[in-house]
Amino acid sequence: MNCDDCRKMISERAAGELSPEQTSEFDTHQQICAACREAVRDWQQLEVSLRSSWPSEDPMVPFFLPTAKVKSNWAHTVRSWVSAASTAAVAASLLLLVIFRPSIQYDPHQLSVNFSRANSRPTTTSPVEAVSQAQVQAWVQAAFEQSMAREQTRTQFASQPASNSPSDEESRKVAQLAVQMEMIKESQTALWQQVQQHGVYLQSAWLGSSARTAPDQNSGTNRQ
Protein backbone atom coordinates (compact mmCIF):
# COMPACT_ATOMS: atom_id res chain seq x y z
CA MET A 1 0.00 0.00 0.00
CA ASN A 2 1.32 3.41 -0.98
CA CYS A 3 0.47 6.82 0.48
CA ASP A 4 -2.26 7.61 -2.11
CA ASP A 5 -4.05 4.35 -1.41
CA CYS A 6 -3.76 4.98 2.31
CA ARG A 7 -5.21 8.48 2.13
CA LYS A 8 -8.16 7.33 0.06
CA MET A 9 -8.98 4.83 2.78
CA ILE A 10 -8.83 7.21 5.70
CA SER A 11 -12.56 7.80 5.83
CA GLU A 12 -13.38 4.10 5.54
CA ARG A 13 -10.84 3.23 8.21
CA ALA A 14 -12.36 5.78 10.56
CA ALA A 15 -15.82 4.33 9.97
CA GLY A 16 -14.61 0.74 10.26
CA GLU A 17 -15.69 -0.15 6.72
CA LEU A 18 -12.44 -1.74 5.60
CA SER A 19 -11.99 -5.50 5.33
CA PRO A 20 -9.62 -7.14 7.84
CA GLU A 21 -6.88 -7.41 5.22
CA GLN A 22 -7.23 -3.76 4.20
CA THR A 23 -7.27 -2.70 7.83
CA SER A 24 -4.07 -4.63 8.48
CA GLU A 25 -2.37 -3.08 5.45
CA PHE A 26 -3.56 0.38 6.43
CA ASP A 27 -2.30 0.08 10.00
CA THR A 28 1.04 -1.32 8.82
CA HIS A 29 1.49 1.63 6.49
CA GLN A 30 0.56 4.05 9.26
CA GLN A 31 3.29 2.69 11.44
CA ILE A 32 5.99 3.32 8.84
CA CYS A 33 4.71 6.59 7.26
CA ALA A 34 4.67 9.76 9.41
CA ALA A 35 3.14 11.83 6.60
CA CYS A 36 0.13 9.50 6.38
CA ARG A 37 -0.27 9.55 10.15
CA GLU A 38 -0.39 13.32 9.93
CA ALA A 39 -2.88 13.11 7.07
CA VAL A 40 -5.13 10.82 9.11
CA ARG A 41 -5.06 13.28 12.03
CA ASP A 42 -5.84 16.19 9.68
CA TRP A 43 -8.68 14.25 8.08
CA GLN A 44 -10.26 13.31 11.37
CA GLN A 45 -9.92 16.86 12.66
CA LEU A 46 -11.46 18.24 9.49
CA GLU A 47 -14.38 15.83 9.76
CA VAL A 48 -15.06 16.96 13.31
CA SER A 49 -14.80 20.61 12.34
CA LEU A 50 -17.11 20.19 9.39
CA ARG A 51 -19.64 18.28 11.47
CA SER A 52 -19.73 20.95 14.15
CA SER A 53 -19.81 23.80 11.65
CA TRP A 54 -23.34 23.18 10.54
CA PRO A 55 -25.66 21.84 13.23
CA SER A 56 -28.91 20.26 12.20
CA GLU A 57 -32.19 22.12 12.30
CA ASP A 58 -35.77 21.01 12.56
CA PRO A 59 -37.88 21.20 9.42
CA MET A 60 -40.01 24.32 9.24
CA VAL A 61 -43.18 22.50 8.32
CA PRO A 62 -43.38 18.86 9.29
CA PHE A 63 -44.60 16.72 6.45
CA PHE A 64 -47.28 14.20 7.24
CA LEU A 65 -49.66 12.32 5.07
CA PRO A 66 -53.33 12.43 5.91
CA THR A 67 -53.83 8.95 7.21
CA ALA A 68 -55.96 6.79 4.98
CA LYS A 69 -57.37 5.17 8.08
CA VAL A 70 -59.25 8.33 9.02
CA LYS A 71 -60.52 8.74 5.48
CA SER A 72 -61.68 5.18 5.17
CA ASN A 73 -63.31 5.32 8.60
CA TRP A 74 -65.26 8.42 7.66
CA ALA A 75 -66.40 6.96 4.36
CA HIS A 76 -67.14 3.67 6.00
CA THR A 77 -69.22 5.38 8.68
CA VAL A 78 -71.27 7.23 6.10
CA ARG A 79 -71.83 4.10 4.08
CA SER A 80 -72.85 2.09 7.11
CA TRP A 81 -75.26 4.81 8.25
CA VAL A 82 -76.88 5.04 4.83
CA SER A 83 -77.16 1.27 4.64
CA ALA A 84 -78.66 1.02 8.12
CA ALA A 85 -81.11 3.84 7.42
CA SER A 86 -82.35 2.28 4.18
CA THR A 87 -82.73 -1.11 5.85
CA ALA A 88 -84.67 0.45 8.70
CA ALA A 89 -86.94 2.31 6.25
CA VAL A 90 -87.76 -0.87 4.35
CA ALA A 91 -88.40 -2.78 7.56
CA ALA A 92 -90.64 -0.02 8.91
CA SER A 93 -92.66 0.05 5.68
CA LEU A 94 -93.20 -3.69 5.80
CA LEU A 95 -94.21 -3.46 9.45
CA LEU A 96 -96.75 -0.73 8.69
CA LEU A 97 -98.19 -2.82 5.87
CA VAL A 98 -98.56 -5.78 8.20
CA ILE A 99 -100.12 -3.72 10.99
CA PHE A 100 -102.56 -1.53 9.03
CA ARG A 101 -103.24 -3.75 5.99
CA PRO A 102 -104.33 -0.91 3.71
CA SER A 103 -107.12 -1.58 1.20
CA ILE A 104 -106.24 -0.52 -2.31
CA GLN A 105 -109.15 0.24 -4.63
CA TYR A 106 -108.66 0.95 -8.25
CA ASP A 107 -111.38 2.49 -10.37
CA PRO A 108 -110.96 3.59 -13.96
CA HIS A 109 -110.87 7.15 -12.68
CA GLN A 110 -108.82 6.99 -9.51
CA LEU A 111 -106.66 4.86 -7.30
CA SER A 112 -107.44 5.10 -3.59
CA VAL A 113 -105.54 3.60 -0.67
CA ASN A 114 -107.38 3.34 2.61
CA PHE A 115 -105.33 2.87 5.78
CA SER A 116 -108.36 2.55 8.02
CA ARG A 117 -108.13 -0.69 9.99
CA ALA A 118 -111.92 -1.17 10.00
CA ASN A 119 -112.21 -0.96 6.22
CA SER A 120 -109.04 -2.75 5.47
CA ARG A 121 -109.90 -5.89 7.35
CA PRO A 122 -112.15 -8.38 5.55
CA THR A 123 -115.74 -8.27 6.77
CA THR A 124 -117.76 -11.25 7.84
CA THR A 125 -117.39 -13.34 4.71
CA SER A 126 -114.42 -14.46 2.72
CA PRO A 127 -114.17 -13.78 -1.04
CA VAL A 128 -115.10 -17.40 -1.72
CA GLU A 129 -118.43 -16.86 0.03
CA ALA A 130 -119.30 -13.91 -2.21
CA VAL A 131 -121.10 -16.30 -4.58
CA SER A 132 -124.02 -17.72 -2.67
CA GLN A 133 -125.39 -21.24 -2.90
CA ALA A 134 -128.67 -20.04 -4.38
CA GLN A 135 -126.85 -18.39 -7.22
CA VAL A 136 -124.93 -21.56 -7.95
CA GLN A 137 -128.18 -23.51 -7.93
CA ALA A 138 -129.73 -21.01 -10.31
CA TRP A 139 -126.74 -21.33 -12.65
CA VAL A 140 -126.95 -25.11 -12.59
CA GLN A 141 -130.68 -24.98 -13.23
CA ALA A 142 -130.26 -22.66 -16.17
CA ALA A 143 -127.54 -24.86 -17.63
CA PHE A 144 -129.74 -27.90 -17.17
CA GLU A 145 -132.65 -26.23 -18.96
CA GLN A 146 -130.43 -25.24 -21.83
CA SER A 147 -129.16 -28.76 -22.12
CA MET A 148 -132.68 -30.13 -22.13
CA ALA A 149 -133.77 -27.71 -24.82
CA ARG A 150 -130.79 -28.66 -26.94
CA GLU A 151 -131.62 -32.36 -26.55
CA GLN A 152 -135.21 -31.76 -27.58
CA THR A 153 -134.13 -29.97 -30.69
CA ARG A 154 -131.89 -32.85 -31.67
CA THR A 155 -134.66 -35.36 -31.05
CA GLN A 156 -137.06 -33.42 -33.26
CA PHE A 157 -134.63 -33.39 -36.14
CA ALA A 158 -133.80 -37.05 -35.68
CA SER A 159 -137.50 -38.12 -35.66
CA GLN A 160 -138.25 -36.56 -39.04
CA PRO A 161 -138.66 -39.21 -41.86
CA ALA A 162 -135.84 -39.50 -44.32
CA SER A 163 -136.64 -38.79 -47.96
CA ASN A 164 -134.61 -39.19 -51.08
CA SER A 165 -135.93 -36.09 -52.82
CA PRO A 166 -133.51 -33.13 -53.30
CA SER A 167 -135.82 -30.82 -51.34
CA ASP A 168 -135.74 -33.18 -48.33
CA GLU A 169 -131.99 -33.42 -48.52
CA GLU A 170 -131.63 -29.64 -48.55
CA SER A 171 -134.06 -29.23 -45.69
CA ARG A 172 -132.07 -31.76 -43.60
CA LYS A 173 -128.82 -29.88 -44.26
CA VAL A 174 -130.51 -26.66 -43.25
CA ALA A 175 -131.75 -28.34 -40.06
CA GLN A 176 -128.22 -29.62 -39.26
CA LEU A 177 -126.79 -26.18 -39.80
CA ALA A 178 -129.46 -24.74 -37.53
CA VAL A 179 -128.54 -27.29 -34.85
CA GLN A 180 -124.85 -26.41 -35.21
CA MET A 181 -125.64 -22.73 -34.99
CA GLU A 182 -127.70 -23.37 -31.87
CA MET A 183 -124.84 -25.32 -30.29
CA ILE A 184 -122.34 -22.55 -31.09
CA LYS A 185 -124.68 -20.01 -29.53
CA GLU A 186 -125.04 -22.14 -26.41
CA SER A 187 -121.29 -22.61 -26.08
CA GLN A 188 -120.77 -18.86 -26.49
CA THR A 189 -123.38 -18.19 -23.87
CA ALA A 190 -121.80 -20.65 -21.45
CA LEU A 191 -118.37 -19.15 -22.08
CA TRP A 192 -119.65 -15.64 -21.51
CA GLN A 193 -121.35 -16.80 -18.35
CA GLN A 194 -118.08 -18.20 -17.04
CA VAL A 195 -116.30 -14.96 -17.84
CA GLN A 196 -118.96 -13.04 -15.98
CA GLN A 197 -118.72 -15.33 -12.97
CA HIS A 198 -114.94 -14.92 -12.79
CA GLY A 199 -115.29 -11.16 -13.10
CA VAL A 200 -117.85 -11.09 -10.33
CA TYR A 201 -115.65 -13.27 -8.19
CA LEU A 202 -112.67 -10.97 -8.59
CA GLN A 203 -114.82 -7.91 -8.06
CA SER A 204 -116.29 -9.35 -4.90
CA ALA A 205 -112.84 -10.23 -3.67
CA TRP A 206 -111.74 -6.61 -3.97
CA LEU A 207 -114.85 -4.75 -3.08
CA GLY A 208 -116.23 -7.03 -0.47
CA SER A 209 -119.86 -7.57 0.14
CA SER A 210 -121.03 -4.36 -1.59
CA ALA A 211 -120.53 -5.90 -5.04
CA ARG A 212 -121.80 -9.32 -4.26
CA THR A 213 -125.22 -8.83 -5.89
CA ALA A 214 -123.71 -8.27 -9.31
CA PRO A 215 -123.25 -11.88 -10.57
CA ASP A 216 -126.93 -12.72 -10.63
CA GLN A 217 -127.99 -9.60 -12.38
CA ASN A 218 -125.13 -9.59 -14.86
CA SER A 219 -125.43 -13.24 -15.72
CA GLY A 220 -129.18 -12.98 -16.09
CA THR A 221 -128.89 -9.94 -18.30
CA ASN A 222 -126.34 -11.56 -20.52
CA ARG A 223 -128.27 -14.72 -20.82
CA GLN A 224 -131.26 -12.76 -22.02
Summarize as ranges the residues that interact with another protein (CB under 8 A). Answer: 7-8, 11-12, 15, 17, 42-43, 46-47, 49-54, 56-69
DSSP state of 67: P
CB of residue 115 to another protein, shortest distance in Å: 51
Q: Cβ(103)–Cβ(120) under 8 Å?
A: yes
Q: Closer to another protein at the Cβ: 12 or 182?
A: 12
Q: Closer to another protein at the Cβ: 27 or 42?
A: 42
CB of residue 84 to another protein, shortest distance in Å: 25
SS3 percent helix, strand, coil of the chain, rounded to 5, is: 75, 5, 20
Spell out the residues 6+ positions from residue 48 whose beta carbon is closer than 8 angstroms to its own: none
CB of residue 20 to another protein, shortest distance in Å: 17
Q: Closer to another protein at the Cβ: 47 or 216?
A: 47
Q: Closer to another protein at the Cβ: 64 or 109?
A: 64
Instruction: Measure the CA–CA gap between 207 and 125, rounded to whole angstroms.
Output: 12
- Could you report how far apart the first and last alpha carbons of the chain are, in Å? 134
CB of residue 96 to another protein, shortest distance in Å: 43
Instruction: Measure the CA–CA gap between 175 and 162, rounded to whole angstroms.
Output: 13
